[in-house]
A = this chain, B = another copy of it.
Amino acid sequence: MSSATPLPQATSDSAAAQTEYVLTVVCADAPGIVHAVTGAIVEIGGNITESRQFESGTTRRFYLRLQVLTAASREEFEQVLAPVVERFSLEHRLDVVGRPVRTLILGSTAKHCVNDLLFQMDSGHLPIEVPLILANHPTLERLATFYEVPFEHLPTSEEGGKAAFEDRVRAAIEEHDIELVVLARYMQILSPELCAELAGRCINIHHSFLPGFKGANPYRQAHARGVKQIGATAHFVTSDLDEGPIIEQEVLRVDHTRTPKELMAIGQDGEARTLRQAVTWFAQSRVLLDGTRTVIFR
């Protein structure tokens, strides 16, 4: 059973104002990386408050995530890191713990995932901000308004509607400097081009325990197959339908008495929770891509 990771806070310490940073590092595996990185942290008087690492047997790459409390500025931090970055050819990313990630939500008619994301955001448990919800139906408008989130409705059913929708997505990403796109039961297949553009920053929730029951009507498929647990899978979107890297999965026990419609109702809870968990981890820089798999530093 998974649970939401609550949002760490930037901390102010006694005398000097300190900031808690999150640093993620990906590189070819080699000895001495951790020592070199922690050396840079010592230089700026940083205190490591959380540390996770992983050496992938599949891709031979090395993954590191650190949380560091320090009075140093971001520039100072980057400066001490620079020689280490160069020496080990690190891909790295430095961010402030708890900074809200700019998130674009794409929706349709289903409310459960959007309701959960906005409630958690509003409660301060989910470090995202949502400059826009874009949907191909007007259903979500009242909910968006309640949480004071801008909402736009563009139907996709007409000729050319889907392409126009995707163009609006591209424009919104540009306009709001979007870092994450969430398909909260958007129910449309994105074009291969858009999938490619959004690689590694677009999360979908599929209402089955993948790889079982890909495609349409997974609850109907699950009922016909007579499974004893139904699931939900949050994954990065790729052009290969329901085959993108998995971020999180959850299952719920069901039995023979449930109709496909009841499975759908039961499953909504798991979908909302699984998507929320994936978005939370992404927003906390806990999700790293390792080929077709993900590294989750929870």
Which residues of A are at the interface with B, using a C-beta cutoff of 8 A?
Answer: 1-7, 29, 31-32, 34-35, 38-39, 41-42, 45-57, 111-112, 115, 119, 123, 125, 142, 146, 209-213, 224-229, 231, 245-257, 259, 261-262, 265-266, 268-270, 273, 290, 292-296
Contact = CB atoms under 8 A, between A and B. Distances in A.
Given A54-B257, A225-B246, A259-B57, A35 B31 contact: no
Given A249-B227, A256-B296, A41 B35 contact: yes
A269 B34 contact: no
B213 A211 contact: yes
B35 A39 contact: yes
| Most chain B beta-carbon neighbours within 10 Å: one of A31, A47, A224, A228 | A228
Number of copies of this chain in the oligomer? Answer: 4
B57 A45 contact: no
- 10 closest A-B pairs by beta carbon, nearest first, are A226-B293, A6-B265, A35-B38, A212-B212, A228-B249, A6-B262, A3-B252, A35-B42, A211-B212, A3-B266
Contacts of A249: 227-229
A226 B246 contact: yes
A38 to B, nearest CB: 4
A251 B248 contact: no
A5 to B, nearest CB: 8
Contacts of A231: 209, 229
Nearest to A274: B228
Contact of A115 (B51, B57, B119, B269): B119
A221 to B, nearest CB: 8
Nearest to A57: B259
A1 B57 contact: no
Contact of A35 (B3, B35, B125, B245): B35
A256 B52 CA distance: 12
Contacts of A228: 246-249, 296
A48 B53 contact: yes
12 contacts: A1-B253, A5-B266, A6-B266, A34-B34, A34-B48, A39-B39, A49-B55, A57-B259, A209-B212, A224-B292, A228-B246, A269-B273
A142 B143 CA distance: 12
Contacts of A210: 212, 225, 227
A226 to B, nearest CB: 3
A262 B7 CA distance: 8
A54 B48 CA distance: 9
B115 A226 contact: no
Contacts of A6: 261-262, 265-266
Contacts of A296: 228, 255-256
B42 A256 contact: no
A226 B248 contact: no
